[in-house]
Structure 1
Amino acid sequence: MATQDIMNILVGTVTGSQADLENARNFLAKAAEQNLPELLKQFSDILITATNNPLARTQAALQLKNALYSKEENLKQVYQERWLSIPEDTRAHIKNNCFNTLGTETAKPSQAAQCVGYIACAELPRGQWQDLIKRLVDNVTTVGRADNVREASLEALGYICQDIDSNVLVPQSNVILTALVYGMRKEETNDNVRLAATTAMLNSLEFTKNNFQNDSERHYIMQVVCEATQVANIKIQVAAIQNLVKIVTLYYDYMEYYMGPALFAITMDAMKSNHDEIALQGIEFWSNVCDEEYELQILQQEAQEQNRQPERTSRYYARGALQYLVPVLLQRLTMQEESDDEDDWNPFKAAGVCLMLLANCAEDAIIPHVLPFITANINHADWKYREAAVMAFGSMLEGPDAASIKPIVEQAIPFLLQLLRDSNIAVRDTTAWTIGRIFKFVTQAVLTDGLIGEIGKTLVNGLNDVPRVATNICWSFSSLASAAYEHAESLDDEDDTPKTYLLSPFFDDIVKKLIETTDRPDGNQSNLRNAAYEALMEMIRYSPKDCYVTVQKTTLTIVDRLNRVISIESHATNSNDRVQISDLQSLLCATLQSVLRKMHGNDAPLISDPIMEALLSMLKSNTGKSSAVQEDALIAIGTLVEVLGLNFMKYMDYVLPFVYEALNNHTEYQICAAAVGIITELSRSLLDKLIPYCDQIMTHLFTCLSDDKLHRSVKTQILSTFGDIASAIGGHFKNYLEHVLNTLNQACRAQVANNDYDMIDYLNELREGCLSAYTGIIQGLRGSTTTANSVVLAELQLVTAQLPFIMQFLETIARDTNKSDSLISAAIGLIGDLVTTYGQVMLQFVEREAFEKLLTEGKRSKVVKNKTLATWAIKEIRKLRNN
């Protein structure tokens, strides 16, 4: 198609009517399908021609960029592979056009820079376009280059640094830093160039570790960044302080040299700035220092407990600067405006968060710095100071020792209850939040018969307040419910569920008021409806025995509401109504799970029919529509299986078709995962009664595993579910054993890169799934051998053949420094099961250094389960040795 025609279509995507827009989109999509390389080539030709319509050039770059990049990781990889499959000469043509466009565009930021960046992200990791970085750097550092070219080249470097795996750029870090520092120097006269360099520097910090380890290079980088914080241009100042925020997190250990002479003064001035963007970065700097130092304090405590020196130590910058930091933060708390949007991030909120982090770091030391401010301003005539005092009080509750803060809280409660009736909404809102934090962190100050009644009554009345205040009161009830329950548990050791607790006298009133709150016409504001349902769930979840009648009534109320919502669903005419109905169904399903878990075993079957009917209706009406509703309904069914046990059998024929349909839904993997969850619960509840359904269930699960497109998290869940099925059906699992063992054999061999934390987490989950499967198989087959079943004994022998491989897998886990606590637990549990099942044959395997270290690690663990399992496994091994 002629270039001019394509340009007209590109302009039509912005300036035309809705019909023109649709036609243009359809045309471009069809052209991409027919010959994507040629289309991208034409886009690049439009982009390179400076005399073309600027709007057409911008849209050409946008279309080119969209063909190269997606925010979805899976799609991004598909796009990159597709790009690399384009003939090399065509790619070279497009790359040259994009590169040569740098500096020729009238609009900012440069679209061509983004195109160059995304092409680089596809090609550089695969060793292609190797001269790109040098050419971009030359554009920046060559004397006489136009400022527009230098700016766009720096932007391209910034996009590359931002989106590429940082390891790819490590070999070229010196070259890239040369360009960035050159553009950031105080001698640079063009602010746009300096801003582009400072922004690119922010994106490059991850891969400059080697440069920060070198004193002279680090000094120079810190010098140019600190100098950039002093310029008049606000955008450059903000970007420069953002660099400092990131540097203090990445390179905390090197900051002592700079903290006193430079960083302290720069960030203190920033915190006091009249420009919110600068103030936010100054506060963020100290928040990051607190985060880092709190983490270092924890590591130091662990090292002390283990009688060793910590690898890194805190310099206690935050604690040392308390006397300077706290007054500035408190001053920022008084600078809020009534017009502030509650959802906007501003210096007032940032100061509150920073104060919380400081309290965590400084512990008791923060109290004398904050308390005088609270005392002076809690009754101030100006609402800003009253709110600041309450915010300061709420922010310092976590960190100080409970014994130190308790008397202060006891004195403050009457003032806070009074402020819940303050004339100013912001004061009431912050007060409700603060009361919730008291329930969470200083519960012993309020859990007395005398106080709790007055607090409960005031909070119930507060649920009538405007949505933003009522939302925080709901959150307060959530915190209060768990605190009161834990307090009752500590007094009542006889049973799992306490007989009564301090909220029992007004439990019914609170629940009624929360249910009423979920029905408020303004419930969709400030997330109120969600908060009220969540509070209701927590109240039910943490209810003692003497509140059971209310739990029963609430169950019936929720089922009734669910049926009402289902009945109006078909009459919803617009998309907004349908979204609200879906959200409400999800909330009701979640609440239903809470009440079902509190139902007595003999009561649940009496009301399970209407519950099941409602959940099946939801599944029917939402097939092909709301995936969230289907997922929530399936999860609720899983809870019903758990509660009913064998009584669930009568629903199997009605439920399984929906479970199979969900297992086939590999696109919306959360639905598939919820169905796998039901299979797990069915295995645990029905045991050998599941046998008639197992062939179909296993067929569906194997189909899931064979689909490369199914999300990996579901596959790890399925492996674990194999263990549950095997444990439930015992010897009957022989029909599937060989296929399952082959699958596990493959899964156990998986490896990931040591520096990819997401993949390390996934590997831990995958390995845990494998261990759960092996454990379930061995326990299931071993349980069946009590009947002297020779077939089952033969199946155990089939597992015996796998023992060397299983033990090698366990040894790999034992030696892995990145293993999680739950993986340690699963590994030790399997070792114990293998020892008790196979006896003396196991000694040749378990008497290895790696296993001895693993069991010792489990025995010393702070996790009770790990400690218990390790003690048991060691005893079983000792028995073998003694025999």
Structure 2
Amino acid sequence: MEQELIGILEKTLSPDQNELKAATEFLEQAAKADLVAFLRTLSDILKARAANPIVRVAAGLQLKNQIAWKDPAKKDIFTQKWFAIPEEARQIIKTNVLEALGTEGQRPSTAAQCVAHIAIIELPRGVWPRLIPDLVDNVCKEGVPDSLKAACLESIGYICQDIQPAVLAEVSNSILTAIVNGMRLPDENIRLAAVNALLNSLEFTQNNFAVESERNVIMTVTCEATTSNNTQVRVVALQCLVRIISLYYEYMEVYMASALLPITLEAMNSDTSELVLQGIEFWSTVCETELDLAINASEAAELERPALADQSRYYAKGALKYVLPIVLETLTKQDECDEDEWTPAKGAGVCLSLFAECTEDAIVEYVVPFVTQNIGNGDWRYREAAVMAFGSILEGPSNEKLKPMMDEALPVLMNLMSDTSIQVRDTTAWTLGRICEYSDVTSNSEVLTALLNAFCVSLSDEPSVAANVCWALKSLSFAAYMAVQTSDEESIEPDAYPLSPFFHVLMQKLLWTTERADGAQSNLRGSAYEAIMDLASHSAKDCHVAVQETMLVILDRLRQVLSLGGQVDTQPDHQQVVDVQANLCAALQVILRKLQPDEIDTIGDAVMTALLQLLSTTRSHRGVQEDAIMAVASFIDVSSAKFTKYIEAFVPFLLLGLQAVNSPQVNSVSVGIVGDLCRAVGDKVQPYADALMTELLKNLASQEVHRNVKPQIFSVFGDMALALGVRFSNYLQAVFTVLHQASMAQIEGTDPEMREYLNALRIGCLETYSGLVQGMKGENNNVGVHSGEGNPLMELGNTILPPLSEFLKIIALDLGVSDECVCTALGLMGDISSSFGAPALPVLETHPIPLLLQRGKTSKSKKTRTMTSWVMKSMKKAKTTATSNGV
């Protein structure tokens, strides 16, 4: 088998597409036929020093791909697949990949990747305990070949990159020792592997950074690495400093002036783009960290909590006079064709914005002279840099400081919209959009008219310029809408607003822009449709006719695209049709929500006919399918119970969406639509409930379904229960089983993503319980505390209160629970007390459940505090009612 497999692996690198396809299919079949033999043979080839190096790499990649997951949701599947291999075979594979370390003759090491991916599976389960000590020994021992030291450090780096820090807690010191030793060795390959490993292990070194002597060692070797003759080592060392300032900001004061400032200034002044970018990134990270600290301090003061231990040292403000001149000069080093590439000039623009947010008024004195001196420069690079600098500092400084400058800059910037340089016009359009966000340009009708005229002319400009004009119009439409709002609720539509006189012309010009032949460039067509959507959603009542006309144009265009059928031959044209379909559906989705019920009655059949036709022809285009389903969601929302006439035709497509487990977005949107449908049509969903519940339960049981979809499903169970009332009892047993399992879920460690998932899962479970209680209560509005046996609501209470009590206790004791989860739990407590009355109070008053009320009282969320007050009144009312009834 080995020789045959070597021949196949050679063909995986063939330029002949037929050979490549045949080789890929062979490898897939070999893995399915006998995975154990396949992996063993691959590992044999990987360690065979006499084999073709390219074939060894191919073998390693195939081995890695069989055990490595890209989608976190599939982690359990790959783990189970690996442990299904007999232990003896696993040991042989592990021995082979370890023996391959340091023998490949090239970097990155494929064997190191294989070692790491096996380790990521085994180490969390206490398997392969000798791996890390052996890797560390190879790095630290005398006489070990440099190639093996480098490969072992690569393995350590890959492991640290993807494993939870807690798994390596006991060996973190030895890992750090190996890394520091590697960074001190003269061989540049070892130093590069070591500094990469340090970058990936910094989150594990919290205890080391807390000890001054150990912190000094780490900072010394890292700063020394920034002076290496190897550019890659210098870049990664700077990346380490970026990560260190983010993780260990509080310890950096002693190093800032003496080391970090000069090192990063030197990097920013370098002729090497990679070094410049890391120097800029360092100061961007300083600003981001200090902004976070400012927010935390503000929240603590607002809630009258003690000052936090971590406080800003104001490094950004102190470094302004050193860093800003270099950042501003870097803005002038643009490339003419760098639209998609991340360049130092682009990094400088982001850095400047962060400095403005962080240092507020202090930045103005450094930037304004640069703008004044260069806005009229004969070199387009300096003109564009001046405009970029001005646009980048608009968020941060006070309005008092900026308003006079913005008023003075507007005429100059409008003139620059006709500059000879595309780059200048492009950046000017962006800057005008920023001004629309932060200055009340809509209050001056003369300025507004001039600005809109400039925008309308520039919608015919180069695609990149026109796309930025579309973005500026989005900012302007929102600003104009908010300027006339008299309450905090955006949903209150004003009678008129500043854009009313221009609205029809703007819509016509944007619709024309979407039809430009070059609309695919710079995402112009998508940007124009987004502007149309924003303009429609932020429009006044006197613009309603124009919104209606736009709706009809969108609907007519959708029909035209559908009429093309299979007439599109080339792939670019086909992709363009797909993009247009997605944009039209998105526009339809937004504009539908602006229409009145009588208008929905008029065009409802046409809208649903087009959307159903689109769904029937675009199953292979997941993006369009998602947008079409979301457009239906908007239609359901505005048509409400009237959607009943379309359910039968739509449900088959909804079921297909629920079955699209390999397309998380479509699957997720489809799950959400089931809830929308239940809320809109109520018990009219009953004829389709069996099919919908079957697919929802299948999704919960499937390992293929994306993890984040599952909390949504529990929320939808609540909607279904509320819609069906007692009829939901057909599904109670199945739902209770999965509900209880999910509500008892716990997570290990403090991974933020897992914590977020657990909170979402709990919220979904709580919403299911609420739906059940409210659904049953809806069928029994006259239920009181004396209701006897046979009452569905009371029977439900007897079934769910014990497990629900355990669930609420878990939430009450969890200090990491989100405020939203607390609020949802309180809402359920209120539903229980108002539905079951006094018999439920002993459950709600059992320790530690009342802790939820204490959290609710002190929440910074007004919604949660209001919910707490309602729950307490509900419980008090239940007690009073019971007492008055002699219970």
TM-score bracket for this pair, using the shorter chain length: over 0.9
Tell me what 1:37 maps to: 36
Distance 1:603 1:154 in 2: 67
Tell me what 1:88 maps to: 87
Deviation at 1:852, TM superposition (A): 5.1
* 2:383 and 2:424 in contact (8 A); partners too: yes
Structure with higher RCO (Cα < 8 A, 6+ apart): 2
Tell me what 1:415 maps to: 412
Deviation at 1:208, TM superposition (A): 1.7
Deviation at 1:878, TM superposition (A): 4.1
Gaps of 5+ in 2: 882-887
Distance 1:46 1:780 in 2: 63
Summarize deviations over 1:165-205 as a string: whole Å, max 9, x none.
Answer: 222222111211122111111xx322222112111111111
Deviation at 1:770, TM superposition (A): 1.8
Judging changes above 3 Å, is the alpha-carbon distance between structure 1 residues 856 and 366 closer, same or farther for their aligned structure 2 residues? farther
Distance 2:37 2:700 in 1: 38
- Is 1:12 the counterpart of 2:11 in the alignment? yes
Deviation at 1:791, TM superposition (A): 10
* 1:166 and 1:206 in contact (8 A); partners too: yes
Distance 1:746 1:79 in 2: 23
Tell me what 1:21 maps to: 20
Taking structure 2 as the reference length, what is the TM-score of the superposition? 0.94
Judging changes above 3 Å, is the alpha-carbon distance between structure 1 residues 683 and 491 closer, same or farther for their aligned structure 2 residues? closer
The 5-angstrom pairing of residues 175-194 of structure 1 reads 175-185=174-184, 188-194=185-191
Summarize deviations over 1:611-660 as a string: whole Å, max 9, x none.
Answer: 1111111111123x222222222221121111112222221221122223
* 2:442 and 2:480 in contact (8 A); partners too: no
* 2:166 and 2:749 in contact (8 A); partners too: no
Distance 1:773 1:493 in 2: 29
Judging changes above 3 Å, is the alpha-carbon distance between structure 1 residues 846 and 443 closer, same or farther for their aligned structure 2 residues? farther
Deviates more, 1:564-573 or 1:669-678: 669-678
Deviation at 1:374, TM superposition (A): 1.5
- Is 1:342 the counterpart of 2:333 in the alignment? no
Judging changes above 3 Å, is the alpha-carbon distance between structure 1 residues 155 and 404 closer, same or farther for their aligned structure 2 residues? same
Tell me what 2:201 maps to: 204
Tell me what 1:109 maps to: 108
Aligned residues: percent identity? 45
Within the candidate set 652, 666, 669, 1:671 is matched to 666
The 5-angstrom pairing of residues 277-426 of structure 1 reads 277-307=274-304, 308-339=306-337, 341-426=338-423
Specify the code of the residue in structure 2 equivalent to 1:123: E
Within the candidate set 752, 756, 767, 1:761 is matched to 756
Deviates more, 1:572-581 or 1:614-623: 572-581
Within the candidate set 657, 666, 690, 2:685 is matched to 690
Judging changes above 3 Å, is the alpha-carbon distance between structure 1 residues 609 and 137 closer, same or farther for their aligned structure 2 residues? same
Summarize deviations over 1:292-323 as a string: whole Å, max 9, x none.
Answer: 11001011011111222224211111122122
Specify the code of the residue in structure 1 equivalent to 2:158: Y
Specify the code of the residue in structure 1 equivalent to 2:439: T
Specify the code of the residue in structure 1 equivalent to 2:378: A
Specify the code of the residue in structure 1 equivalent to 2:290: E
Deviation at 1:609, TM superposition (A): 0.9
Tell me what 2:71 maps to: 72
- Is 1:123 the counterpart of 2:122 in the alignment? yes
- Is 1:432 the counterpart of 2:429 in the alignment? yes
The 5-angstrom pairing of residues 165-180 of structure 1 reads 165-180=164-179
Tell me what 2:149 maps to: 150
Specify the code of the residue in structure 2 equivalent to 1:663: L
Tell me what 2:651 maps to: 656
Distance 1:503 1:869 in 2: 39
* 1:616 and 1:655 in contact (8 A); partners too: yes
Specify the code of the residue in structure 2 equivalent to 1:733: F
Specify the code of the residue in structure 1 equivalent to 2:268: M
Distance 1:46 1:788 in 2: 74
Taking structure 1 as the reference length, what is the TM-score of the superposition? 0.94
Tell me what 1:771 maps to: 766
Specify the code of the residue in structure 2 equivalent to 1:519: E
Judging changes above 3 Å, is the alpha-carbon distance between structure 1 residues 450 and 614 closer, same or farther for their aligned structure 2 residues? same
Within the candidate set 574, 588, 600, 1:592 is matched to 588
1:71 match: secondary structure: coil
Tell me what 1:576 maps to: 572
Summarize deviations over 1:452-488 as a string: whole Å, max 9, x none.
Answer: 1111111111111111111111111111111111111
1:286 match: secondary structure: helix
Specify the code of the residue in structure 1 equivalent to 2:768: A
Distance 1:806 1:493 in 2: 36
1:819 match: secondary structure: coil
Distance 1:34 1:696 in 2: 36
Judging changes above 3 Å, is the alpha-carbon distance between structure 1 residues 45 and 705 closer, same or farther for their aligned structure 2 residues? closer
Deviation at 1:672, TM superposition (A): 3.2
Specify the code of the residue in structure 2 equivalent to 1:24: A
Specify the code of the residue in structure 2 equivalent to 1:772: E
Distance 2:532 2:383 in 1: 31
Distance 2:418 2:449 in 1: 17
- Is 1:246 the counterpart of 2:243 in the alignment? yes
Deviation at 1:90, TM superposition (A): 3.1
Distance 2:38 2:270 in 1: 50
Gaps of 5+ in 1: none
Judging changes above 3 Å, is the alpha-carbon distance between structure 1 residues 62 and 680 closer, same or farther for their aligned structure 2 residues? closer
Specify the code of the residue in structure 1 equivalent to 2:640: G
Judging changes above 3 Å, is the alpha-carbon distance between structure 1 residues 25 and 732 closer, same or farther for their aligned structure 2 residues? closer
Summarize deviations over 1:26-83 as a string: whole Å, max 9, x none.
Answer: 3333332333322333333333332322222222222222223232234454344333
2:593 match: secondary structure: helix
- Is 1:705 the counterpart of 2:700 in the alignment? yes
Summarize deviations over 1:89-112 as a string: whole Å, max 9, x none.
Answer: 333333333222222223322222
Summarize deviations over 1:795-845 as a string: whole Å, max 9, x none.
Answer: 110232122432442343233222223223212222222222233334434
* 1:569 and 1:578 in contact (8 A); partners too: no
* 2:718 and 2:770 in contact (8 A); partners too: yes
- Is 1:228 the counterpart of 2:225 in the alignment? yes
Deviation at 1:590, TM superposition (A): 0.9
* 1:635 and 1:677 in contact (8 A); partners too: no
Judging changes above 3 Å, is the alpha-carbon distance between structure 1 residues 250 and 788 closer, same or farther for their aligned structure 2 residues? closer
Judging changes above 3 Å, is the alpha-carbon distance between structure 1 residues 578 and 528 closer, same or farther for their aligned structure 2 residues? same
* 1:406 and 1:445 in contact (8 A); partners too: no
* 2:611 and 2:628 in contact (8 A); partners too: yes
Summarize deviations over 1:410-463 as a string: whole Å, max 9, x none.
Answer: 1111111111111111111111111112222x1325543232111111111111
Within the candidate set 778, 781, 793, 1:786 is matched to 781
Within the candidate set 474, 494, 497, 2:493 is matched to 497
Distance 1:848 1:473 in 2: 60
- Is 1:640 the counterpart of 2:640 in the alignment? no
Judging changes above 3 Å, is the alpha-carbon distance between structure 1 residues 708 and 243 closer, same or farther for their aligned structure 2 residues? closer
Tell me what 1:812 maps to: 810
* 2:788 and 2:794 in contact (8 A); partners too: no
Distance 2:675 2:104 in 1: 58
Distance 1:791 1:650 in 2: 40
Residues matched between the structures, number: 877
Distance 2:733 2:561 in 1: 47
2:519 match: secondary structure: coil
Distance 2:74 2:488 in 1: 55
Deviates more, 1:604-613 or 1:442-451: 442-451
- Is 1:854 the counterpart of 2:852 in the alignment? yes
Distance 2:217 2:487 in 1: 62
Judging changes above 3 Å, is the alpha-carbon distance between structure 1 residues 681 and 13 closer, same or farther for their aligned structure 2 residues? closer
Tell me what 1:262 maps to: 259
* 2:590 and 2:634 in contact (8 A); partners too: no
Tell me what 2:448 maps to: 452
2:575 match: secondary structure: helix
Specify the code of the residue in structure 2 equivalent to 1:262: A
Tell me how large the CA RMSD over aligned residues is.
2.4
